[in-house]
Chain A
Amino acid sequence: DSGVTQTPKHLITATGQRVTLRCSPRSGDLSVYWYQQSLDQGLQFLIQYYNGEERAKGNILERFSAQQFPDLHSELNLSSLELGDSALYFCASSPQGSGGWSEQYFGPGTRLTVT
């Protein structure tokens, strides 16, 4: 158990809908990272927040957005969902703000299915 929690575990929704995925980092970690992993594909880094502020961006679509709240939990919002958005979405956390240097601890993931 990494100490990172994600909810929900599974989510099934229809095309065009909007969903929110939630992540609680390990106690004391200030950074939260979001990743997308489509079936049989590699991890795609989406976005990082550090202490409430956006820190780094990866391959995040404009239909997707995220935020980190004062209690350091984070939410990833996915809107106008398409079939291709079906994937595992992972959250990771780390103590520091540097993605490249920090040890990242991954949550169990949210499996999103868009029908």
Chain B
Amino acid sequence: KNQVEQSPQSLIILEGKNCTLQCNYTVSPFSNLRWYKQDTGRGPVSLTIMTFSENTKSNGRYTATLDADTKQSSLHITASQLSDSASYICVVSSAVSDGNNNDMRFGAGTRLTVKP
């Protein structure tokens, strides 16, 4: 079972509307959580990075929240624009690496489509 689950898998909204994407994780011990935006066919771009002591972090119209107790994070997009159409990927890092020294756990992403 994946340690990072994102929902919904896909989402269609109208331009100008707000939306919220979810990321639930079971990674333990927790180190940090990142949200990436990936335009189709392009490399991901970092939006926010949050440690356990941070509840909210904003980057323009993007606001990420983190509840380390319930192991949930959300990415809220305000006043959506056509350019927000992309996949949004949640990456959770563990404070302990696995046997291959890898500490990153990736969600499958949410594909957002913003329509005019």
Contact = CB atoms under 8 A, between A and B. Distances in A.
B63 interface: no
Given A43-B89, A45-B106, A100-B93, A56 B101 contact: yes
A101 B42 contact: no
Contacts, number: 62
Nearest to A2: B43
A2 B37 CA distance: 14
A108 interface: yes
Interface residues on A, range: 20 to 34
A77 interface: no
A57 interface: yes
B42 A109 contact: yes
B28 interface: no
Interface string B91-107: 00110010011111011
Tell which of A43, A58, A106, A107 has the most Cβ of chain B within 10 Å. Answer: A43
A102 B104 CA distance: 11
A104 B104 CA distance: 12
B107 A101 contact: no
Q: Which of B31, B97, B104, B108 has the most CB of A within 10 A?
A: B104
Contact of A99 (B42, B45, B49, B102): B102
Contact of A100 (B41, B43, B44, B103): B103
A98 B102 contact: no
A42 interface: yes
16 contacts: A41-B108, A42-B108, A56-B103, A57-B100, A57-B102, A58-B102, A90-B44, A99-B93, A99-B102, A100-B94, A100-B104, A101-B31, A101-B93, A103-B49, A106-B45, A109-B41
Interface of A: 2, 4, 41-45, 48, 55-58, 88, 90, 92, 98-101, 103-104, 106-109, 111
